[in-house]
Amino acid sequence: MNVPVKALSLSVAAAVLMMGCGKQEEAPKPVAAPVAPPVTVVKLGHVGPLTGGIAHLGKDNENGARLAIEEANAAGIKIGGNPVKFELIAEDDQADPKIGNTVAQKLVDAKVVGVVGHLNSGTTIPASAIYNQAGIPMISGSATNPALTEQGFKTVFRVVGRDDQQGPAVANYLIASAKPKVAAVIDDATAYGEGLANEVEKALKAAGVKVLPREKGTDKTVDWKAVLTKIKGKKPDVVFYGGMDATGGPLLRQARELKISAAFAFGDGACTDKMAELAGPAAEGMICSQAGIPVQASGKKFLDAYKARFNVEPILYAPFTYDAAMLMIEAMKKADSTDPAKFLPALAASDFNGASGNIRFDEKGDRKDAEMTIFAMKDGKIVPLAIIKGDKSLTLDEYAALSAPAAAPAAEAKPAETPAAAPAQK
């Protein structure tokens, strides 16, 4: 057959076109996006009284720990090669040892890797055994009874001083300023209140002061008139109360109502501005002590951050709970692990400059070279009179100039003149 050339050419072109249409072009393979490493959630616990008469102190402690957690999360920390997110689990122990043990076990069951707290010695001491059994480190920013770190637990630490340091400090101040011949000592029958009162009594007796038989209340006592009437007839020159501000305030107010003119002194649990609210004008001139530096001497960075975050000033031990949480986090970073068994040695070996100054621990877990501070109530505010460091008694200005890399500039606060004794209230 004869096929025209033109028709043949068209047929070939069509075939070629069909072959081209049948061939699929391979699409370029998408480039896989880098997979972000998984975020490790690390749980830290905090325990303190968030309800009841001293809830203001419990919330202050919690705020300190929470601020540390939030700052650590903002810093984008990696541990073990993975980014971590710290989560604070806050529990309320109501300052009750039984509830304290319950929430301690709750935190253990929640797999926290460490605990900041508790606030009170009476809750901290029994709870510490639960954490120790689970191998979980705990750091208290406010429990001062020596028994806490005398148990031999390697998981237990505190970033404040002990009552066998605080008691002699406030007693010696009273001896020097009031020169008492007779002293009355009252406590609230808690591990904290009774323990501190014992240390004050020892120091007073060692100085030759006659100490009347001990009087007691509870951590809920607000009617002290029977106790005060009993001691009034014995005319003490000074009265020391071991307990918290919720009970110490009514005690002081009722003492002045009964015309007891003795100088009154308190430990750290009642060393707050709230005493002026609870005792009214009777609080003026009272003396109190704290097992650490005053809030005013904390690092300016911390003070500014706390005020910006919570819109209030820290009350008492927030700088110490802030440091406690930071110590846990720094230990994890150094050990490159969130496993308590692995970061515990780094925690014990801490050498950390925090909001409350330099922190190192001795073999018991106590803070080395812990400062003590003596305060007086002036115009409704507790004002630092002296910071005791080692064998030196320093004003706030002298302390700031001397040492603490974290201390606030001395110009920010000025100590009051030391009163000879708390004035009699008429």
pLDDT digits (tens, 9 = 90+) for 380-424: 999 999 999 887 888 888 887 775 444 444 333 444 443 333 333
What does DSSP assign to residue 160?
A: S
Q: Each residue of 24-55: pLDDT tens digit?
A: 555 566 665 666 678 999 999 999 999 999 99
Portion of the chain with pLDDT greater than 90, in percent = 82
pLDDT of residue 97: 97
Mean pLDDT of 139-166: 97
Pairing of strands 114-117, 138-140: parallel
pLDDT of residue 422: 36
Q: Is the pLDDT of residue 7 over 70?
A: no
Amino acid at site 418: T
pLDDT of residue 254: 98
Q: Each residue of 101-131: pLDDT tens digit?
A: 999 999 999 999 999 999 999 999 999 999 9
Mean pLDDT of 256-269: 97
pLDDT of residue 408: 40
As given in the structure block, the two tokens for residue 13 are: 């072109």
CATH class belonging to 40-160+297-359: alpha beta
As given in the structure block, the two tokens for residue 98 are: 């039984």
Q: How many angstroms from the chain centroid is the CA of residue 156?
A: 14
Q: Is the pLDDT of residue 234 over 90?
A: yes
Asked if 266 and 241 count as a contact pair (C-beta separation under 8 A), the reply is: yes
Q: Is the pLDDT of residue 16 over 50?
A: no
* Parts of the chain belonging to CATH 3.40.50.2300: 40-160+297-359, 164-290+372-412
Residue with structure tokens 């710290």?
A: 86
Q: Which one, of 227, 242, 244, lies nearest residue 52 by Cα?
A: 244
Q: Each residue of 289-319: pLDDT tens digit?
A: 999 999 989 999 999 999 999 999 999 999 9
> Could you tell me which CATH number the domain at 164-290+372-412 has?
3.40.50.2300
SS3 of residue 382 by DSSP: strand
pLDDT of residue 397: 85
How many other CB atoms are found less than 10 A from the CB of residue 266?
A: 30
pLDDT of residue 415: 40
CA 173, 166, 90: angle at the middle one, nearest 5? 140
Q: How many angstroms from the chain centroid is the CA of residue 51?
A: 17
pLDDT of residue 393: 84
Q: Is the pLDDT of residue 226 over 50?
A: yes
pLDDT of residue 392: 82
Q: How far apart are CA 158 and CA 165, in angstroms?
A: 14
